Amino acid sequence: SGGTVARPLPGPPAAAALLADAAARAARLASPPHLSIVRLGEDPASVSYVRGKDRKAREVGLHSTVYALPEDTSQADLLALVARLNADPDVNGILVQLPLPAHVSEQAVLHAIDPRKDVDGFHPVNVGELWAGRPVLAPCTPAGIMYMLGHYSIPVAGARAVIVGRSHIVGRPLAAMLLNAHATVTVAHSRTPDLGAVTREADLLFAAVGRVHLVTPDMVKPGATVVDVGINRVVGADGKAHLTGDVHPDVAAVAGALTPVPGGVGPLTIAQLLANTVTAAERQAAARL
Ligand code: NAD
C-alpha cells in the first residue's frame, strides 16, 4: 500500500524509562547496588562495551568496579576472582564480558558465577528458570526488547512471533520470554528452508542474525512489528564505517512498526543490565533479613 511508513520505535526513550525505574528502585536500598565487571584482554568491542556499562552504572547511581585483566590470565586465576566476588557480600552483580580468549572455557566461567549474582542471566540455573516460566535474572538484550515492546504498548499475548536466530544471547532466551508472555513462537535459523514463508507469518518479527539487510520487504507481513537486533559494521558509499541492521530499510514501507539501527534496541541492553543488578541487590537484601 503506497506511501505507508512504519511507526519508528526508538530505543532511547524506552531505555530512559527502564533506567529511571532502576534508579528509583536502587535509591530505596540501604546502599547502592554494586556491579563488578571483568574483562580479559583489549578486544576493542569488549573494551567499549565494558566502558559503556561502567559509565551508565555510575550515571544512575550504582557502584561499579571494572577488573581489566591481561589477555593471558589463566582460567584458574579468573575462576579465583569469580569465587572472591561470589563470596563478597558487598558485590551484588557479576558480569564477565564475552567473548573470552580461547584458553578460557566460557562454560566453566559462566557456571562458576553465583546464579544470584548472574546479571547476564547466562548461568544454567537462570536459563532453566526462564524456560520454566520463572525468570529472575534473564539475558539483557531479549529482556530489554520485551521491556521496549511493553513501553510502546505492542501486544504480545496471542501474537504470532517469529525470531530469526537461535543464539544463547538473543534468539533462544527471547523465545522463552515471548512464550512466557503468551505469544505463539517460531524460531528460524541458518538451516530453515524458505525463510520468507516463515517470517511472513509473523505479527512480531525479530531479526537477530548479524547479516546486513537479510530481512527484505517481501519477507514481512503488512503491518507487522519488526524488531531489528542486528548490529553490522559496514563501509558506506562515503567511505566511512557505520552501523546497519539485519532488516532492509525498505521494510519500513511494509511493516506497521520498526526499530531503527542504530538507535533501536541497542541502548536497552545496558539499561536492562543495570535493572538486573538492582533486582539482584534487592533479592540479596531481602534474603539477609
Ligand atoms: P550469533 O552469531 O550467535 O547467532 C546468529 C544466528 O543467526 C544463529 O543462530 C544462526 O543460526 C542464525 N543465522 C545465520 N545465518 C542465517 C541465515 N542466513 N538465515 C537465518 N538465520 C541465520 O549472533 P547473536 O549473538 O545472536 O547476534 C545477532 C546479531 O545481533 C548480531 O548482529 C549482533 O551484533 C547483534 N546483537 C545486538 C545486541 C544489542 O543490540 N545490544 C546484543 C547482542 C547481539
Query: Does the beta carbon of 212 sit less than 6 angstroms from any atom of ligand 1?
Result: no
pLDDT of residue 120: 98
**Range(s) within the chain of domains with CATH label 3.40.50.720:** 139-268
Pick the CATH number of 139-268 from 3.20.20.10, 3.40.50.720, 3.40.50.300, 3.50.50.60: 3.40.50.720
Residue 167 annotated in ligand binding: yes
Q: How far is the CA of 4 from the centre of ligand 1 (A)?
A: 29
Prediction ipTM score: 0.98
Q: Specify whether 77 is catalytic.
A: no
Give the SS3 label for residue 165.
coil
What is the tens place of the pLDDT at every residue in 63-107?
Answer: 999 999 999 999 999 999 999 999 999 999 999 999 999 999 999
Contacts of 283 (CB under 8 A, 6+ apart): 116, 136
**Catalytic residue selected from 97, 117, 272, 284:** 97
Residues 247 and 228 sit within 8 Å (Cβ to Cβ): yes
Q: 3-class secondary structure for 172-198? A: HHHHHHHHHCCCEEEEECCCCCCHHHH
Spell out, as residue ranges, where the chain has pLDDT lower than 50.
1
pLDDT of residue 236: 86
CATH numeric code, 31-116: 3.40.50.10860
**Range(s) within the chain of domains with CATH label 3.40.50.10860:** 31-116
pLDDT of residue 1: 47
Distance (Å, whole) CA 167 – CA 177? 14
pLDDT of residue 200: 98
Query: Does the beta carbon of 195 sit less than 6 angstroms from any atom of ligand 1?
Result: yes
pLDDT of residue 3: 64
Query: Does the beta carbon of 265 sit less than 6 angstroms from any atom of ligand 1?
Result: yes
Q: How far is the CA of 282 from the centre of ligand 1 (A)?
A: 32
